[in-house]
């Protein structure tokens, strides 16, 4: 019999067996972000609808199809966040961060919401890691952010990634590019999808971001024709071209390999100059793992002073699904499991409470037999096993087994905390009797 209530379509529950991998991935990401000097900013999960509509662009799929928009009891027009950047920039302005320092490195992590067709690895509520470097227009900022982007994936074990990169120029060059694209695609309009026909009128660059097979066939045909598709980098002005060249040179110097993708435009309208994505080509057609770019006009669009910025978003659900399919498992948790016999159960309860003042400790609460406790300890994933035996306890010692190495030693009870501390910090400590 099915339960009366189930998770809404496009959402899911992450059970303890799942969250162990998630917590490991989040912790690894935090280590990398902190090494790059990024600080955490937590913004609300919902904002004014206009904030997202203005920044994402009225012609974007996010605004046209995917926004969770609602009115609250005060009849305010609100929306669940479909991405982080707009809310982070709103917070940047609201709290006057620009007046506190010239450059800010900010990261956020948490759920975002888009109404789309649920499929493997893609949900209506999903999790992102977002990073923004705000306040610098220098090509070095782009290089740092893209390097961070790649290093986060490598911290999770991804290798041989492909970074696709393009320049989408500034508004003037994009308008010129869009007009040229509109002229070239006009004869094919009847063959384009309804979405692309609408985009051709509102924002022709968005046609390049289509997922429709029919649209892709038209674009491929146009590329192979004598006219070909125009390349945005051919329309860049002198300053944009210099920025583009310096970004490529900086990435090469940093050892980040990239491929130029002239059709890369990203899905939101606020991008300027550099746009990028990371792909794992071993995944086949759906190889994109995340992306980002520069958005020098975004804060000005929100009513602030001209302030450059560059950032990215990583979809955790998609990345961790790939890791799970490849058999990636986090290391044994640095936890302790205490197992007792009937005669040492009371002593073990006191010992567990003392240890829990410093260490994560698992222990039986059902007075199960010793064998059942040992079996449960093996399944727990605990790094260290403390066995409180009757004879050993009378001698003031316990048995300590390290699941990682398989070694076992006798440790004096009054030195147990020191021994656990040494093992969990990576320093071998002999307990002694």
Element (DSSP H or E) covering residue 355: helix 345-355
Beta strands in 136-197 (DSSP E): 162-167
Residues of the chain with CATH 3.30.930.10: 16-169+236-325
pLDDT at 108 over 60: yes
Q: What is the pLDDT of residues 221-246, one digit of tens each?
A: 887 776 677 788 888 889 999 999 99
> For residue 170, what are the contacts with CB-CB under 8 A and spacing of at least 6?
237, 240, 272, 273, 296
- Percent of the chain's residues with pLDDT above 70: 95
Element (DSSP H or E) covering residue 315: strand 309-315
Given a contact cutoff of 8 angstroms between Cβ atoms, the answer to whether 302 and 150 are in contact is: no
Q: What is the pLDDT of residues 315-368, one digit of tens each?
A: 999 899 988 888 877 776 688 999 999 999 999 999 999 999 999 999 999 999
Q: How open is the CA angle 177-181-187, to the nearest 5 degrees?
A: 160
The whole-model pTM stands at: 0.83
pLDDT at 430 over 60: no
Q: What is the pLDDT of residues 82-107, one digit of tens each?
A: 999 999 999 999 999 999 999 999 99
> For residue 33, what are the contacts with CB-CB under 8 A and spacing of at least 6?
107, 131, 148, 152
Q: Band the pLDDT of 131: cuts 50, 70, 90.
A: very high
Fold exhibited by the domain 333-424: Rossmann fold (3.40.50)
pLDDT of residue 429: 43
pLDDT of residue 85: 94
Distance CA 170, CA 178 (A): 12
User: Superfamily assignment of 16-169+236-325 in CATH?
Assistant: Bira Bifunctional Protein; Domain 2 (3.30.930.10)
Residues of the chain with CATH 3.40.50.800: 333-424
């Amino acid at each position: 019999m099915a339960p009366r209530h189930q998770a809404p379509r496009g959402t899911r529950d992450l059970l303890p067996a799942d969250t162990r991998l998630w917590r490991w991935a989040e912790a690894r990401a935090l280590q990398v972000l902190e090494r790059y000097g990024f600080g955490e900013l937590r913004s609300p999960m919902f904002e004014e609808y206009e904030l997202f509509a203005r920044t994402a662009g009225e012609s974007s799929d996010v605004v046209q199809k995917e926004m969770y928009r609602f009115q609250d009891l005060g009849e305010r027009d609100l929306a669940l966040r479909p991405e982080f950047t707009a809310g982070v920039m709103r917070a940047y302005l609201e709290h006057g961060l620009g007046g506190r320092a010239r450059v800010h490195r900010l990261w956020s992590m948490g759920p975002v919401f888009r109404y789309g067709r649920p499929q493997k690895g893609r949900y209506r509520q999903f999790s992102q890691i977002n990073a923004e470097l705000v306040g610098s227009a220098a090509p070095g900022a782009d290089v740092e952010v893209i390097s961070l982007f790649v290093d986060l994936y490598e911290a999770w074990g991804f290798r041989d990634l492909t970074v696709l990169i393009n320049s989408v120029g500034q508004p003037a060059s994009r308008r010129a590019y869009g007009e040229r694209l509109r002229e070239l695609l006009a004869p094919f309009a009847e063959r384009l999808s309804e979405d692309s026909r609408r985009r051709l009128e509102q924002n022709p660059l968005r046609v390049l971001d289509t997922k429709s097979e029919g649209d892709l066939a038209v674009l491929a045909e146009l590329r192979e024709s004598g006219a070909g598709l125009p390349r945005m980098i051919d329309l860049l002005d002198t300053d944009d071209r210099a920025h583009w060249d310096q970004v490529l040179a900086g990435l090469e110097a940093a050892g980040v390999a990239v491929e130029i993708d002239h059709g890369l435009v990203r899905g939101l309208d606020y991008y300027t100059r550099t746009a990028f994505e990371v792909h794992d080509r071993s995944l086949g057609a759906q190889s994109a793992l995340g992306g980002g770019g520069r958005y020098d006009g975004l804060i000005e669009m929100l009513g602030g002073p001209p302030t450059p910025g560059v950032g990215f978003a990583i979809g955790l659900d998609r990345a961790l699904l790939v890791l799970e399919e490849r058999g990636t498992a986090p290391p044994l948790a640095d936890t302790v499991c205490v197992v007792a016999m009937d005669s040492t159960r009371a002593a073990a309860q006191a010992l567990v409470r003392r240890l829990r003042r410093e260490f994560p400790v698992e222990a039986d609460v059902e007075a199960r037999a010793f064998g059942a406790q040992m079996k449960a300890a093996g399944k727990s994933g605990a790094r260290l096993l403390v066995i409180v035996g009757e004879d050993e306890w009378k001698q003031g010692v316990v048995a300590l087994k390290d699941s990682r190495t398989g070694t076992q030693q006798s440790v004096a009870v009054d030195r147990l905390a020191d021994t656990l501390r040494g093992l969990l910090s990576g320093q071998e400590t002999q307990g002694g009797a």
